[in-house]
């Protein structure tokens, strides 16, 4: 098989002073941070769809990037060329995982039996490449939002036939995920939501989504899938409202339906910001509920109200992300670059430079988060802020050893209580800046 990305070498770490665009400035896979190698802190994954399929099409114009990789699009030869390109790409960057939707890896046929036959053929081809290179699968999923049949969602569709179609796709995507030894299986509820409540039975739709997820768990476990199922929350786009609005909503849904033991969150930065949260917020919500599973690493544009899926370059946000991940003891999943080059960045070289940007940003984030933790001032401040609960009446509250009457009697003895102490936000922000740039 001949080289596809000719002229692009294996990407090496050259250090912060390097001016070579095709080198890592900060991502040094073997460097030890907080007792662990960078590559172990940061299991990066390539998103098949953006990197190997998307050509820059937007609502106003067709592809700018050529992703044919020397084959005719829409054919199985093209599907195989994408596999060749993908594995060369990951090998050159030292990326150890990939993520995929069923329809990313083959041209979908009209008949699902033929689609599944093509999936069998391509998955044999992918598996051989995995064995040859040691590259692994982070997670798989079924695309249940692009085909017109899913215009009203999959589990939330008004049509039982569409629901069955979704079940069939999930079954096959789970088969493939198990075949690849994938660590996770993702539900991104692309159209699981509504455009208007005038035509929507919200409770029925949500119960049906839970039924589909329960069947997926039962089937997955029956074929030996031991990994995590993930919900990837997103508040809107393509639908006006999506049921997996944010981490808190999705976790509540899972608990309501008894699915919380099998599921974790796959948190995407740009989805969290669309929900009106910071990336860090949704990571924290997931972590404190024991459900921080995996991350779709990207970023949005604060001036735009949609999912721009940009490669992450915001070191501040990546730092706070890595602070959450390190504090949570790491991810069971990894960091999937659910990101695409900007439309005018249409060359093969841009594909590499985008990943270098993303990987360097998270390497910086990791090192800066480690520095914040090692510095200790932020963590010490938080601990001290709640010190009134360490003894006396505070300790009784935490231990559950008091009553509202006792607390009211205690309050009677206080006169005017002292103010709760300065939050010192500006001091803490200054500490973070000092650590990032000092
Ligand atoms: C869409 C999105 C998806 C999921 C997988 O916003 O993030 O690509 O990650 O279906
Ligand atoms: Co995503």
Tell me the CATH number at 296.
3.20.20.150
The stretches in the chain having pLDDT less than 50 are none
pLDDT tens-place string over residues 27-65: 999 999 999 999 999 999 999 999 999 999 999 999 999
pLDDT tens-place string over residues 233-285: 999 999 999 999 999 999 999 999 999 999 999 999 999 999 999 999 999 99
426 and 366 in one domain?
no
Count of structural domains, the chain = 2
The binding-site residues of ligand 1, defined as CB within 6 angstroms of any ligand atom, are: 101, 141, 186, 188, 232, 234, 268, 296, 307, 338
411 and 365 in one domain?
no
Share of the chain above pLDDT 90, in %: 99
Distance from chain centroid for Cα 46: 11
196 and 153 in one domain?
yes
For residue 271, what is the enclosing H or E element? helix 269-274
Q: How far is the CA of 398 from the centre of ligand 2 (A)?
A: 39
- Determine, yes or no, domain membership for 15: no
Which residues fall inside 5 Å of ion ligand 2, going by CB? 268, 296, 338
User: Among the options 28, 84, 102, 104, which is catalytic?
Assistant: 104
385 and 359 in one domain?
no
| Domain boundary pick from 375, 391, 420 | 375
DSSP string, 74-113: TSHHHHHHHHHHHHHHHHHHT--EEEEEGGGSSPPPSSHH
205 and 341 in one domain?
yes
- Determine, yes or no, domain membership for 332: yes
192 and 105 in one domain?
yes
pLDDT of residue 63: 98
Q: Which domain holds residue 167?
A: 29-375
pLDDT tens-place string over residues 356-372: 999 999 999 999 999 99
- Determine, yes or no, domain membership for 63: yes
- Determine, yes or no, domain membership for 13: no
- Determine, yes or no, domain membership for 5: no
421 and 350 in one domain?
no
| Domain boundary pick from 375, 396, 419 | 375
| Domain boundary pick from 359, 375, 391 | 375
253 and 400 in one domain?
no
C-alpha 377/C-alpha 208 separation (Å) is 48
- Determine, yes or no, domain membership for 24: no
């Amino acid at each position: 098989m001949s080289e596809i990305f000719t002229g692009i070498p294996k990407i090496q770490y050259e250090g912060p002073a390097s001016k070579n665009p095709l080198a890592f400035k900060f991502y040094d896979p073997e460097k030890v941070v907080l007792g662990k190698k960078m590559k172990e802190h940061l299991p990066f994954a390539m998103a098949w769809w953006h990197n190997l399929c998307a050509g820059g099409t937007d609502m106003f114009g067709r592809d700018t990037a050529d992703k044919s990789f020397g084959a005719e699009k829409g054919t199985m030869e093209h599907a195989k060329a994408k596999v060749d390109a993908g594995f060369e790409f990951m090998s050159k960057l030292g990326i150890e995982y990939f993520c995929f939707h069923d329809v990313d890896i083959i041209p979908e046929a009209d008949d699902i039996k033929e689609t599944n036959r093509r999936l069998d053929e391509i998955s044999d081809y992918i598996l051989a490449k995995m064995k040859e290179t040691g590259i692994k699968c982070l997670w798989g999923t079924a695309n249940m939002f692009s085909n017109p049949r899913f215009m009203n969602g999959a589990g939330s569709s008004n049509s039982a036939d569409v629901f069955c179609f979704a079940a069939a796709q999930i079954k096959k995507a789970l088969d493939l995920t198990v075949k690849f030894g994938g660590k996770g299986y993702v539900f991104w509820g692309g159209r699981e939501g509504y455009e208007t409540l005038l035509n929507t039975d919200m409770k029925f739709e949500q119960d049906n989504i839970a039924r589909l997820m329960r069947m997926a768990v039962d089937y997955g476990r029956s074929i030996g899938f031991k990994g995590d199922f993930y919900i990837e929350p997103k508040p809107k786009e393509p639908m006006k409202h999506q049921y997996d609005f944010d981490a808190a909503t999705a976790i509540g849904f899972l608990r309501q339906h008894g699915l919380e033991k099998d599921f974790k969150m796959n948190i995407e930065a740009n989805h969290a910001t669309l929900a009106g949260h910071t990336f860090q917020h949704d990571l924290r919500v997931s972590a404190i509920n024991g459900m921080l599973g995996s991350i779709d690493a990207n970023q949005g544009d604060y001036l735009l109200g949609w999912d721009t899926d940009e490669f992450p370059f915001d070191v501040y946000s990546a730092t706070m992300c890595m602070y959450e991940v390190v504090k949570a003891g790491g991810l069971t999943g990894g960091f999937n670059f659910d990101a695409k080059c900007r439309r005018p960045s249409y060359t093969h070289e841009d594909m590499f430079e985008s990943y270098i940007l993303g990987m360097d940003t998270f390497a910086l984030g990791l090192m800066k988060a480690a520095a914040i933790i090692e510095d200790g001032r932020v963590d010490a401040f938080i601990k001290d802020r709640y010190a009134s609960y360490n003894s006396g009446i505070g300790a009784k509250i935490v231990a559950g050893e008091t009553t509202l009457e006792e607390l009211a009697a205690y309050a009677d003895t206080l006169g005017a209580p002292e103010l709760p102490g300065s939050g010192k936000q500006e001091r803490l922000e200054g500490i973070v800046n000092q650590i990032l740039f000092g």
